[in-house]
Amino acid sequence: MVVMIVLATLVVFLISHLVPADPILAQLGDMQAANPAMVAAYRARWGLDLPIWQQYLIFLEGLVHGNFGVSISTQRPVLDDILQYAPATIELSTIAFLLSVIIGVPLGVIAAVRRDSWIDHFARLLSLVGVSAPTFWLAFVVLALFYGGLQIAPGPGRLDVVYLPPPFVTGLYLIDSALAGQWDVFRNAAAHLVLPSTVLAATTLGLITRTTRAAMLESLGQDYVRVGRAKGLKDRTIIIRHALPNALIPVVTLGGLAYAVLLSGTVLTETIFSWPGLGRYTFRSAVSLDFPAIMGITFLVAVVYLVINLIVDLSYALLDPRVVRQ
C-alpha cells in the first residue's frame, strides 16, 4: 500500500513534467513570454528552474506535510481548493452510487430469477440504455424535460439562489443542513441532487444491473441451489441466502471501480449542472496547465483508487471464505 502510494506520486510527478507543454506560455501569455526577464522571474518564483529530481523531492516533502503546493491559476493552496470542491463531488457521486446499487442489485436479482419475463426484458433494456446513452446527451434531455419543460425539478447548482449554504461541517449539504436543522435547505439540496445524480447513476446502474443479473444466473445454476431446493428450502431463502452471496463477488469488484470513477471525474455532468465540484476544477486546471493543481488532484485520485481497492479486497474475504485459506 505504502509502496503503491510512493509509486503513484512518482508517476503523477513524471507525467505532469514530461508533458510537452509549457505552463509559462499558458500562464503568462504570448506577450510576456517573449520577455526573458519575466520568464526567468516566473521560473524562479515557481521553482521551475531547479533540477527535476529536486522538484520531485520538494513535491514529496510537501505531500508529507499535507502541502500540495499552490495553484498557479487560483494562487491558493491546492489542498484548500480540493477541500472546497471535493464535498460537492463526494455528495453527488455517493448519491449516484447508492442509487445505482440500491436499484441495480435487486433489479439484477429479480431479472435473473424471473428470466425472460417482462421485468427481465425491462432490466436488460434499462442497462443497455444506461450504458450506451452518452452522459451529456442524457443530462441535456433530463434538464430540458424536467427543468425546462415540466418545471418540476430545480435548475443547475447545488442550491437555489435564495438559500445560503448551511454552516460548514462536512461540506455535504445534506448532512450539514440536517445537522443545523435547516430542513428547507435540506429539501432544496436534495431536490437539486435528483437530476445530476440520476444522470450520473445511469451508466453505473446499467453496469451493476447487468453484472448482478449475469452473476445471479450463474449462481442459480450451481449445484448447491439444487441441493437447497432438494432440502425443501423456500425459494426466497435459496435466492437471498444461498445464491446472492456467491453472486456478489463480481458485483463488489465492479461497484468499487465504478465508485472510484464517479469520485474522480464527472466533468461533463458537473459542467452541465454547474456543479461546483472536483470535475470542473480538474478541467479548469488541465486547460490552464496548472501543474500543482493537476498533480494534487491526480495524487488524490490515485489514493482514492487504492483505498477503494483495499476495501474491495477486504470485502472479498468477508464474502468468500476461500480467499483467506492458508
Partner 1 sequence: MTDPAMNETTGSTAPLLEVNDLQVHFHTDNGVVRAVDGVSFHVDAGETVGIVGESGSGKSVTALSIIRLLEEPSRIAGGEIVFRGDNVLAMDKERIRSLRGGEVAMVFQDPMTSLNPVIRVARQLVEALLVHRRITPKAARGRAVGLLGRMGITAPDRAIDNFPHEFSGGMRQRVMLAMGFGNEPSLLIADEPTTALDVTIQAQILDLLKELNSDFGTAVLMISHDLGVIANVCSRIIVMYGGEVVEEGSIEELLSDPRHPYTWALINAVPRLDRDPGADRRLTTIEGTPPDALDMPKGCRFAPRCPFRIARCDEHPSLERIGPRRSTRCWVTQAGEPLPRREEHAARAAPSPVDPASRQLPADGAAPLLEVRGLVKHFPLRRQGFFGPQEVIHAVDGVDLAVGQGETVGLVGESGCGKSTLARLITRIHNPTAGKILFEGTDIAQRSRAEMRPLRRRMQMIFQDPFASLNPRMTVGDILAEPIRFHGLAQGRAVNERVQELLALVGLNPRAAGSYPHEFSGGQRQRIGTARALAVDPQLIVADEPISSLDVNIQAQVINLFLDLQQRLGLTFLFIAHDLAVVRHISDRIVVLYLGKVMETAPAATLFEEPLHPYSVSLISAVPIPDVEAERSRRRILLEGDPPSAIHPPSGCRFRTRCPIAREICAAEMPPLQEHRPGHFAACHFPGGMGEWR
Residues that bind partner 1 (CB under 8 A): 222-224, 226-234, 237, 241-242, 245-246, 319-322, 325-326
| Of 187 and 229, CB closest to partner 1 | 229
- Measured CA to CA, the distance from residue 129 to residue 202 in angstroms comes to 8
Per-residue CA distances from 95 to 10, 69, 116, 181, 209 (Å)? 33, 31, 31, 20, 17
- For cell 455528495, name the residue: 91
Length of the chain: 326
Burial grade of 279 (CB within 10 A; 0-12, 13-18, 19 or more)? buried
174 sits in which H/E element: helix 173-180
Q: How far is the CB of 115 from partner 1 (least distance, A)?
A: 9
| Of 153 and 320, CB closest to partner 1 | 320
Q: How far is the CB of 317 from partner 1 (least distance, A)?
A: 11
Provide the β-strand partners of residue 77: 70
| Of 151 and 326, CB closest to partner 1 | 326
Q: How far is the CB of 114 from partner 1 (least distance, A)?
A: 12
SS3 of residue 66 by DSSP: coil
| Of 45 and 241, CB closest to partner 1 | 241
| Of 65 and 325, CB closest to partner 1 | 325
Q: How far is the CB of 212 from partner 1 (least distance, A)?
A: 16
Q: Cell numbers for 295, please give them.
A: 498533480
Cα-flanking dihedrals φ and ψ of residue 315, to 5°?
Answer: -75, -25
Q: How far is the CB of 239 from partner 1 (least distance, A)?
A: 12
